[in-house]
Amino acid sequence: MSETITALTGTGETDANVQHMSMQLALNRALDEILADNPKSVIFGEDCGRLGGVFRITDGLQSKHGEDRVFDTPLAESGILGMSVGLAMAGFHPIPEVQFDGFAYPAINQIVCQIARMNYRSRGTLPMPITLRVPSFGGIRAPEHHGESLEALFAHVPGLKVVSPATPHDAYHLLKYAATRPDPVIFMEPKSRYWQKGPVNLASADMDTAAHDAGTDSGGNLTGARVVREGRHLTLVAWGAMVARCLQVAELAAEDGIDVEVLDLRWLKPIDAEALATSVGKTRRAVVVHEAPLTSGLGAEVAQLITQSCFATLKAPVERVTGFDVPYPSGDLEDEYIPNIDRILFGIQRVLEYRRG
């Protein structure tokens, strides 16, 4: 661990600001600091208060900041998000939690018809500075409605921003950043990565720790994508939990002499089209990987953005490796549904062997 930190800071001395922690703890710490920094911020949701959240993300916050700032709600997502609208209109900065991805459906009306367009509807007089935390994606062997990927649904709605961190460092800084935005942000936490530890530079968001780890610090810009691993032959585009998997695939591809770049989009609305153009402009091949079903998934949007900027130099059509067009399966079948290493390698192979004509 100390070696990692030394490598990260690059100074040979341990930087006291860099701490090794899980994404769970990084998010908890970010929320704690948001509550301390902004007296108008409030956190609420099912089991967020006394229990500290089913994933312990809000652990200890109610006892520290009080029951007026961190509280439990009834089991009614439409109420959680409806209340967020009212609080935002009254000048608060709500940070509601929908306990699991699939529980957002009962609140779609509040999210789409109120939160996303109140600012527009009121000619900018009623902004909705709401950060909606949604433990998202699959990978923890949970039952129905606990493993879904709703990014395309949210990204399609004008007025919403959508972001998903892949590392503890990004989770900490992106959440703090999202909570200061005047616009509603859907914050999709990759729940299968909650327990993975990584370096977090508490002092500087600009230090892109994961890229640093791989020796390719992209300079780190919280509003854009980040190059996690540099490569020459092909770009893997991913977000959330799929970033770590794509890094594994990149290492395996290297054994076969294929140099893969991994791009973590981070923001799924708006998508960093410039980063896509830069990366694929260089590698000329791209595979986009996501857990959500194929049809009308965000992979299609990414493929179009790449085609728009790189059409003349692309060596092959952009491939998509995704979940299937079925409801998210039960835990036992999860490994067959979520893009696994072999399926991603197959996607890469299809791109590599594509020939025009």
Partner 1 sequence: MAEISFPLPDLGEGLIEATVLDWLVEPGQQVERNQPLVELETSKSALELPSPQAGKVVRIHGAPGDTINVGEPLIVFEVPDDTAGIVGTVPKDEAPKRRVRLSAVLDED
The residue behind tokens 């911020």 is 41
Q: In terms of CB distance, is 181 or 350 closer to partner 1?
A: 350
Least distance in Å: CB of 252 to partner 1?
Answer: 5
| Structure-block tokens of residue 174 | 């992106």
- To partner 1, the closest distance from the beta carbon of 135 in angstroms equals 8
Distance in Å, CB of 4 to partner 1, minimum: 16
- Coil, helix or strand at residue 59: coil
Closer by beta carbon to partner 1, 234 or else 268:
234
Residue 333: partners with Cβ closer than 8 Å, 6 or more residues away? none
Q: Which of 14, 141, 223, 325 binds partner 1 (CB under 8 A)?
A: 141
Instruction: Compute how many residues bind partner 1; rule: CB under 8 A.
Output: 37
- Single residue of 195, 296, 308, 336 touching partner 1 by CB under 8 A: 195
Nearest to 318 by CA among 282, 278, 346, 286: 286
User: Is 143 an interacting residue with respect to partner 1 (CB under 8 A)?
Assistant: yes
Position 342 contacts partner 1 (CB under 8 A): yes
**Binding to partner 1 by residue 316, rule CB under 8 A?**
no
Is residue 29 at the binding interface for partner 1, with CB under 8 A as the rule? no
Is 350 one of the binding residues for partner 1 (CB under 8 A)? Answer: no
d(CA 263, CA 175): 20
Residue 252, interface with partner 1 (CB under 8 A)?
Answer: yes
Measured distance CA(242)–CA(188) in Å, rounded = 13
Token pair in block for residue 177: 């950043």
Closer CB to partner 1, 88 or 142, in the complex: 142
- Of 9, 22, 131, 136, the residue at the interface with partner 1 (CB under 8 A) is 22
| Token couple for 327 | 């409801």
DSSP string, 94-109: EEEE-SSGGGGGGGHH
- Binding of partner 1 by 146 (CB under 8 A): yes
> Is residue 140 a contact point for partner 1 (CB under 8 A)?
yes
* Interface with partner 1, residue 336, by CB under 8 A: no
Q: What is d(CA 175, CA 1) in angstroms, rounded to the nearest whole number?
A: 25
Q: Taking CB under 8 A as the criterion, which residues in 49-88 touch partner 1?
A: 53-56, 59
Q: Which of 65, 93, 146, 233 is catalytic?
A: 146
DSSP state letters, 298-309: HHHHHHHHHHHH
Nearer to partner 1, 108 or 252 (CB): 252
Q: Which of 89, 126, 300, 352 binds partner 1 (CB under 8 A)?
A: 352
Q: Closer to partner 1 by CB, 217 or 291: give it.
A: 291
- Check binding of 330 to partner 1 (CB under 8 A): no
CA atoms of 132 and 74, how far apart (whole Å)? 17
* DSSP track, 3-29: HHHHHHH-SSS--TTEEEEEHHHHHHH
Question: Which tokens sit at 13?
Answer: 């001395």
Site for partner 1 in 219-248 (CB under 8 A): 233, 248
Torsion of the alpha carbons at 54, 58, 60 and 63, rounded to the nearest 10: -110
Among the candidate windows 46-54, 103-111, 121-129, 270-278, which touches partner 1 by CB under 8 A? 46-54
Question: Per the omega criterion (within 30 degrees of 0), is the bond before 270 cis?
Answer: yes
Residue 86-125 contact track with partner 1, rule CB under 8 A, x = bound: --------------x-------------------------
Judge whether 146 counts as a catalytic residue: yes
Do the strands 260-264 and 226-229 form a parallel or antiparallel pair, or are they unpaired?
Answer: antiparallel
For strands 131-136 and 319-323, give the pairing: unpaired
Upper half-sphere CA count for residue 269 (Cβ side, 13 Å): 21
Catalytic residues: 146
Interface residues with partner 1 (CB under 8 A) are: 22, 47, 53-56, 59, 100, 139-143, 146, 191-192, 194-196, 233, 248-249, 251-253, 256-258, 331, 341-342, 345-346, 348-349, 352-353
